Amino acid sequence: MRLSLLSLVLAGPLLVVSSPLASTGTRVSLAKRTKFTDENGVANIAKIRSHLRSVERKLQRGFKAFERNTGNKHRSDTRAIQKRATGADPLTDDEDGALWQGSISVGSPAKTFTVDFDTGSSDLFLPGVDCTVNCEGHTLYDPSTSSVSASTGAPFSLAFGDGSTVEGTVFTDTVTVAGLTATNQAVGDSSQYSDGFAIDEFPPDGLLGMAFPEISVFGANPFFQTLIAQGTVTSPEFGVKLATTGSELFLGGIDDSLFTGSFTQNPVTDVGFWQIDLQSVNANGRSAVTGLSSIIDTGTTLIVGDPTNVARFYEAVPGAMDASLLAGPGFFTFPCSDPPQVSLTFGGTAFPISEDTFNLGELFLGQCVGGIMSADLGTDFWVAGDVFLQNVYTSFDAGNTRVGFATLA
């Protein structure tokens, strides 16, 4: 295993930080908590639909921030995104893979919070002591108690899929993840939380984005970029394994024990999101859709694509049905007894998606919801979330602006 300053391991349902590996590594436990299905394997349509709307909102925020921060329009944002009518730190899988949770400490003296780690966004926000909407039950951030905090005076507002917002003021403070410390890190002190961040919907306290500065709503370096800039990590790369057991986030390098063979490397095409070319989406060994672009996002459970190409994919799946009238726009089903063999091709290699991760649960009469769904994200634009990522080991290389995939060990 290559030495790193940060690693994360899923060992059980509790978050436990273990002792450092020599002077350069730390392991933290992860656990899978909730699912898109009930105890009978029936799909939770309301939960899936809410997650799909949140993906749309997140990308919309990123596109707007990219344009503001760079003065350029994101290449894949060829039409407006429409809202549908209808180190090292512990991580926990929320919403059956939607987000990965771990603990961080903020301030001096340090105070511990839990956050969801998300490669599809770039900002860190926490609930503040002045928060009066949806913050009850969370650990609250009070910058006045930190001797190194400072207010930037800049307000922020983040819209989410339920139509509500997270609002507050941006501070700078010291942020530490399992021994890795970033100073003068931008932290959103939230005075209002979105409905989706209420404690019964979102047990973690906040969210920590791990994409590039170009999509930061705060207009600041994300945490991992700050670690790189301040020389804290040995390598500007982090590796991810997401699974029901043995999951790990490894910052400052990759964990050689978790994959076999070599990486298929893919250059980032637009620095902002972790966006790469997706050569094809395949059903039963044949290309159903080709020539796409995809964001690689640990903060999305689903594989989300544009309506035209998602429909084209399901046309190649025997027995598949458009379930929009029953479940809402974007939903498709396949026969539970005859699941398709699905794979995504990146860099000339087809990476299979397991039946377990593709199947989101039964909808009706032996028809199961497929893990590829559609939303109006932009022409030929897709998001590869945990339905895909749980089947590969992934390297996010900020130094070479590339994403690599390897076969899980």
Q: Which residues are catalytic?
A: 118, 297
Specify burial of residue 36 (Cβ count, 10 A radius: 0-12, 13-18, 19+).
Answer: buried
CA–CA–CA angle 176, 178, 183 (5° rounding)? 20
Q: How far, in Å, CA of 226 to CA of 184, rounded?
A: 9
User: What's the token pair of residue 303?
Assistant: 């594989």
Length of the chain: 409
Residue 58 parent element (H or E):
helix 45-70
Task: Tell me how far apart the alpha carbons of residues 217 and 239 are, in angstroms, rounded to a whole number.
Answer: 25
Count of C-beta atoms within a 10 Å radius of residue 293: 18
3-class SS at 60? helix
Distance CA 156, CA 187 (A): 11
Q: Closest Cα partner for 26 from 56, 1, 54, 60?
A: 1
Q: Please state the φ and ψ torsions of residue 391, each to the nearest 5 degrees.
A: -110, 0
Establish how many alpha carbons lie within 13 A of residue 307's alpha carbon, considering only the half-sphere containing its beta carbon.
11
Alpha-carbon span 145 to 178, nearest angstrom: 21
